[in-house]
Amino acid sequence: MTQALALTRDELQDFLDGDFGPLGGDFIVDRAEADGLTLRMKSSDRFLRPGNTVSGPAMFALADVAVYLAILSRIGMAPLTVTTNCSIDFLRKPVAGRDVLAHTRILKLGRSLAIGDALLFMEGGDAPVARANMTYSIPPDFKRG
């Protein structure tokens, strides 16, 4: 038997499409399960930088939103959870014109801190283009779902 999620894939997608803000429309939750979540960033010229590659800030945003959603899927809707640290390695030059996928792992869900990481791939690629480790601060008065 597998651990139930506090928020389903559809509920996370609704959050992205609704209250999340302008960036939400670029992201699709491909998969949300107890062992991890996959977030897709749709290919867009807005995410490119000179050299026809996906920009660092766009990959940072993808990793950040992916791990954030993975945490919400486990603890429930805690939108005041904020990123406190990110360490990101850019491993290979991403190719323009393809979606980027982030596969996440949750490493710790503490009382006040949550830690996870993400491995980013171009759609169809088998070598990661980036790896990010993210830390979040959870509001102390949040009641978990």
Residues that bind its own copies (CB under 8 A): 19-21, 23, 49-51, 55-58, 60-61, 64, 79-80, 82-93, 107-108, 112-113, 115, 117, 119, 128, 131, 133, 135, 137, 140
Q: Measured from the CB atom, is 8 or 55 closer to its own copies?
A: 55
How far is Cα 27 from Cα 45, in angstroms, rounded to an integer? Answer: 14
What does 54-100 look like in DSSP terms, one character per residue?
E-HHHHHHHHHHHHHHHHHHHH---TT-EEEEEEEEE-SPPPTTS-E
The minimum distance between CB 123 and its own copies, in angstroms, equals 19
The minimum distance between CB 126 and its own copies, in angstroms, equals 12
Q: Are 124 and 71 in contact (CB under 8 A)?
A: no
Q: Measured from the CB atom, is 124 or 140 closer to its own copies?
A: 140
Q: Measured from the CB atom, is 92 or 98 closer to its own copies?
A: 92
HSE-CB of 21 using CA atoms within 13 angstroms: 4
User: Is residue 138 within a helix (H) or strand (E), and if so which, with residue range?
Assistant: none
Q: Measured from the CB atom, is 98 or 131 closer to its own copies?
A: 131
The minimum distance between CB 109 and its own copies, in angstroms, equals 10
The minimum distance between CB 88 and its own copies, in angstroms, equals 5
In the chain the first and final C-alpha atoms are separated, in Å, by 19
How far is Cα 70 from Cα 1, in angstroms, rounded to an integer? Answer: 20
Q: Measured from the CB atom, is 23 or 28 closer to its own copies?
A: 23
The minimum distance between CB 32 and its own copies, in angstroms, equals 21
